[in-house]
């Protein structure tokens, strides 16, 4: 299988989420595909199943700042993208990692990311157990990413700070993995271009793929515009 490396783009939250979903839903080749992207302005995204009332409650302290807000097609909690390094990986149906349990795919991809960080001198490791929850709460997923490390997140072995987390979605087309690395948590000077290349190569080795830098695919006219409109809509934002 081939791992297509797509060009870097900067876009709004709605466009980034729509493009990730479109790359899962309709891609011209049965290849894995990877992209790193950034944000036009301050942005937060939140999990597909999260209640909008909870999201507004958690972001109340940010009310004085202007930012994009968008519901993701994947699960997980609220993610602050103001100082993160964001990427997505799509694995087509039939690949062993796409068919694996969610915990196994989560671990495998984060092992590759931790290895790339270690090459940059970052004391990164994959956490094998979730952190003890607050008293009276179960050891489940946090509603806000980077507040607490979960099982198989990437953490700093010295400080214990969460460095990277992700959210996943599986459908008939394959697996969409949306990952976020919190830059302040690495506690080191990073060559981000080298980190990306090392991460890509470690992913390719794990996936047993050859990497190919490829242009953006040509989608049907108006298809991406329709998805951006959907992801920008009040109906999508308040879906739950």
CATH number, domain of 27, equals 3.30.930.10
- Is residue 136 a part of any domain in this protein? no
Other Cβ atoms closer than 10 A to 127: 20
- Is residue 135 a part of any domain in this protein? no
Annotate 95-137 with three-state secondary structure: CHHHHCCHHHHHHHHHHHHHHHHHHCCCCEEECCCCCCCCCCC
- Is residue 211 a part of any domain in this protein? yes
pLDDT tens digit at each of 240 positions of the chain: 899 999 999 999 999 999 999 999 999 889 999 999 999 999 999 999 999 999 999 999 887 789 999 999 999 999 999 999 999 999 999 999 999 999 999 999 999 999 999 999 999 999 987 655 554 444 445 566 556 688 999 999 999 999 999 999 999 999 999 999 999 999 889 999 999 999 999 999 999 999 999 999 988 878 889 999 999 999 999 987
By residue range, what is the domain housing residue 158? Answer: 2-130+142-237
Between CA 125 and CA 114 the distance in angstroms is 6
Whole-angstrom Cα Rg for the chain: 17
- Is residue 137 a part of any domain in this protein? no
**What is the number of structural domains in the chain?**
1
Q: CB-based contacts of 63: which residues, under 8 Å, 6+ apart?
A: none
Between CA 150 and CA 28 the distance in angstroms is 35
């Amino acid at each position: 299988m081939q791992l297509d490396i797509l060009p870097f783009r900067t876009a709004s939250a709605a466009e980034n989420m729509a493009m990730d979903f479109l790359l899962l839903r309709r891609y011209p080749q049965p290849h894995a595909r990877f992209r790193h992207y950034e944000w036009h302005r301050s942005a937060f995204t939140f999990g597909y199943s999260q209640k909008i009332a909870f999201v507004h409650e958690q972001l109340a302290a940010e009310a004085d700042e202007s930012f994009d807000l968008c519901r993701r097609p994947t699960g997980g909690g609220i993610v602050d993208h103001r100082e993160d390094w964001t990427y997505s990986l799509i694995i087509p149906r039939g690949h062993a990692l796409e068919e694996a349990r969610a915990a196994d795919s989560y671990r495998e991809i984060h092992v590759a990311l931790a290895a790339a960080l270690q090459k940059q001198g970052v004391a990164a490791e994959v956490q094998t157990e979730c952190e003890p929850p607050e008293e009276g709460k179960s050891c489940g997923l946090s509603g806000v990413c980077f507040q607490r490390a979960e099982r198989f997140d990437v953490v700093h072995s010295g400080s214990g700070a969460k460095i990277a987390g992700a959210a996943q979605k599986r459908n008939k087309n394959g697996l969409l993995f949306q990952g976020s690395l919190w830059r302040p948590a690495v506690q080191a000077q990073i060559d981000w271009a080298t980190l990306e290349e090392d991460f890509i190569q470690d992913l390719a080795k794990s996936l047993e793929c050859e990497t190919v830098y490829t242009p953006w695919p040509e989608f049907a006219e108006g298809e991406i515009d329709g998805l951006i409109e959907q992801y920008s809509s009040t109906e999508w934002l308040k879906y739950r």
